[in-house]
Amino acid sequence: MHAHPPADPSTVTVSIGPLTVEQVVAVARHGAAVELSAASLTAMAESRAVVDALAHDTHPHYGISTGFGALASTHIPAARRAQLQASLIRSHAAGTGAPVETEVARALMLLRLSTLATGRTGIRPATAQLLVGLLNSGITPPVPEYGSLGCSGDLAPLATIALALIGEGEVVDSSGTRRPAAEALAAAGLAPVVLAEKEGLALINGTDGMLGMLCLALYDLEILWDTADLAAATSVEALLGTDRVFAADLQALRPQVGQATSARRIAAALAGSPIVASHAGPEDPSVQDAYSLRCAPAVHGAARDTAGHARTIAERELASAIDNPVVLADGRVESNGNFHGAPIAAVLDFLAISVADVASISERRTDRMLDPARSRRLPPFLAHEVGVDSGHMIAQYTQAGMVAELKRLAVPASVDSIPSSAMQEDHVSLGWHAARKLRRGVDALRRVLAIELLTAARAIDLRAPLLPGAVTGAVRQVIRTVVDGPGPDRHLAVEIDAVVGLLEAGAVTAAAPLDDAPTERRTTTDADEDAR
């Protein structure tokens, strides 16, 4: 089952180390507190000693005694290096546009702190502790939408965070008030830092924005895959479909792990359904259901498997130390390319394709319920008084519009690149862009599924006196807590948004749990073993 954060996040303190997806969500979305372990503080102090020693070396060391990017060959005197670090942050905080969501900014802060805690960046422990203070005080810099190319890290977004650490720029405090950073820090009992050698780079050279958005999307999508299975089952019932195609022996002929999971869940949701039983057997005139019903496990399952692979990539990244240069265990400071966002960007794009596909098949099921030529004796558009009422006609338009948008959002960002920094940074991942469009996609998928569930619940009501099964009946019942049953036309947008709210809260999957067929989080290795 899903590992949701506790209802009261103040009861949770996340110790910074290799984080889980669920811990990222707990801190970024639910405000859980964070702390640095004694081991992390020791590791940071040890690597800082290495940087301090190199700061006095006559040989140049990138990020310590040189400029940055295309200016890496420029030696900076010791007396100017504090200004160098501050100038780096000020110049790189060059984002523009509306601020991203607070949970994305908090994920940026948390994941940068996670890398700092590895002791591979040369940061001073006190600087990392200030980042802890911002998170725990609910102080969040407003990170602009545009600025990252997803290589050399999410530079502009992370520089916006770092600007607050030096007491500059603006932040949003725990009350939601936007105010000068220095003022908010003082009110929280925090003091800004003066950055020392290497610290500016350590604060901005990471893939934290795109990774944070990947973690948030994975968490939400895991719930939405379950929701899609419930929606498909409810639509099968509403359309007088068969449950025979979801049988385990049929699914075993194609040993795809995600497909088997979705088929098992749909079958469990339809178990004991009086509606399904009412037309089962030789008297059923239909030979086989349409693809949007019969092939739901294949489409939903492919999405599950895609998310399983994406989670594997996320977990590897969560265990990484992303910075350039890095301080190695033997004391060497080496440049590297680990800040390139390609691994994350690729799975973000992959997930966007699956999101579009699951939404597309959902819309087809909805349309079928509204068409009297295909709905098996349901009234046109599920209207109360055909002609006077339009029923759910335009809800399907809304679905179709979102599906069209999702198809555009499925165009990969990671295949694009644009050179920067005087051609020193001549290939970039655009992973931030992939993450931003996936966030839009997750929201649209939730809305598409909400419309299918709303429509299927109405269709099931119109099948009375036939009754739904226990699980699908529970789905209908939770929808009826916010939306009335069939009747004359009402303001439909309000009803759609009410069901969207249920999905955002996880109320539908909570009301209709399939404990006999739980969703399993799998790594690629797990899936390979099961396939064998």
Residues 54 and 13 occupy one common structural domain:
yes
Residues 178 and 241 occupy one common structural domain:
no
Q: What pLDDT is recorded for position 126?
A: 97
Q: What pLDDT is recorded for position 294?
A: 96
- Across residues 435-441, what is the average pLDDT? 98
Q: What pLDDT is recorded for position 303?
A: 98
φ/ψ of 374, rounded to 5, equals -130, -10
Q: What is the 3-state secondary structure (H, E, C) of 392-431?
A: CHHHHHHHHHHHHHHHHHCCCCCCCCCCECCCCECCCCCH
Q: Is residue 144 part of a domain?
A: yes
Q: What is the pTM of this model?
A: 0.92
- Across residues 286-290, what is the average pLDDT? 83
Domain boundary among 206, 221, 250: 206
143 touches 108 (CB < 8 A): yes
Whether 529 shows a pLDDT value over 90: the answer reads no
pLDDT tens sequence across 386-410: 999 999 999 999 999 999 999 999 9
Q: Is residue 273 part of a domain?
A: yes
Residues 343 and 363 occupy one common structural domain:
yes
Predicted confidence band of residue 517 (pLDDT cuts 50, 70, 90): very low
Residues 196 and 218 occupy one common structural domain:
no
Predicted confidence band of residue 80 (pLDDT cuts 50, 70, 90): confident
Residues 159 and 284 occupy one common structural domain:
no
Q: Are strands 178-180 and 144-146 parallel, antiparallel or unpaired?
A: unpaired
Instruction: Give the C-alpha distances (Å, rounded to integers) separating 458 from 129, 213, 318, 371.
Output: 54, 35, 43, 14
Q: Is residue 525 part of a domain?
A: no
Q: What pLDDT is recorded for position 515?
A: 60
Q: Is residue 127 part of a domain?
A: yes
Residues 379 and 243 occupy one common structural domain:
yes
When mean pLDDT is compared across 24-28, 161-165, 279-283, 382-386, the lowest value belongs to 279-283
- Across residues 122-141, what is the average pLDDT? 97
Point out the residues that are catalytic: 62
Q: Is residue 167 part of a domain?
A: yes
Instruction: Give the C-alpha distances (Å, rounded to integers) separating 390 from 44, 59, 521.
Output: 65, 77, 42
Whether 330 shows a pLDDT value over 80: the answer reads yes
Residues 126 and 226 occupy one common structural domain:
no
Domain boundary among 172, 206, 240: 206
489 touches 210 (CB < 8 A): no
Which two tokens mark 418?
Answer: 């644009």
Supply the mean pLDDT for the chain. 91
Give the distance between the most distant pair of CA atoms in the chain: 90
Residues 327 and 260 occupy one common structural domain:
yes
Whether 228 shows a pLDDT value over 70: the answer reads yes
Q: What pLDDT is recorded for position 521?
A: 35
Q: Is residue 531 part of a domain?
A: no
Residues 194 and 217 occupy one common structural domain:
no
Identity of the residue numbered 531: A
Domain boundary among 150, 181, 206: 206
Residues 310 and 182 occupy one common structural domain:
no
Q: What pLDDT is recorded for position 166?
A: 97
DSSP annotation of 287 reads S
- Across residues 284-289, what is the average pLDDT? 76
Q: Is the dihedral of CA 200, 205, 209, 214 positive or negative?
A: negative
Distance CA 447, CA 228 (A): 11
Place of tokens 């040890």: 46
Residues 184 and 228 occupy one common structural domain:
no
Residues 177 and 276 occupy one common structural domain:
no
Distance CA 138, CA 26 (A): 13
User: Residue 371 sits in which domain range?
Assistant: 213-417+427-518
Q: Are strands 144-146 and 96-99 parallel, antiparallel or unpaired?
A: antiparallel
Separation of CA 516 from chain center: 27
412 touches 326 (CB < 8 A): no
Distance CA 355, CA 359 (A): 6
- The CATH number assigned to the domain holding 55 equals 1.10.275.10
Q: Is residue 2 part of a domain?
A: no
- The CATH number assigned to the domain holding 329 equals 1.20.200.10
Q: What pLDDT is recorded for position 67?
A: 66
Tell me what percent of the residues of the chain surpass a pLDDT of 70. Answer: 92
How many domains, the chain?
A: 2
Q: Is residue 4 part of a domain?
A: no
